[in-house]
Amino acid sequence: MADSSTKTPWQVIALASGACAAFNGVFAKLTTDELTSSWAASIAEALGTTPSNASIDYGIRCVVFALSFLFSSVMWGLFTRALSLAPSAVHANVVNTSSNFIIAALLGVAVFGERLPPQWWLGAALLITGSVIIGRQTGSPKAKGD
Contact 83, 92 (CB under 8 A): yes
Residue 57 clears pLDDT 80, i.e. is over it: yes
Give pLDDT, residue 143. Answer: 45
Q: Quick one: DSSP state of residue 52? A: T
Section 9-18 average pLDDT: 94
Q: What average pLDDT does the structure give for the chain?
A: 87
How far is the C-alpha of 141 from the C-alpha of 84, rounded, in Å?
19
> Which range (4-13, 18-27, 117-126) has the least confidence?
4-13
Q: What is the mean pLDDT of residues 45-65?
A: 90
Q: Whose CA is closest to 12, among 78, 72, 76? A: 78
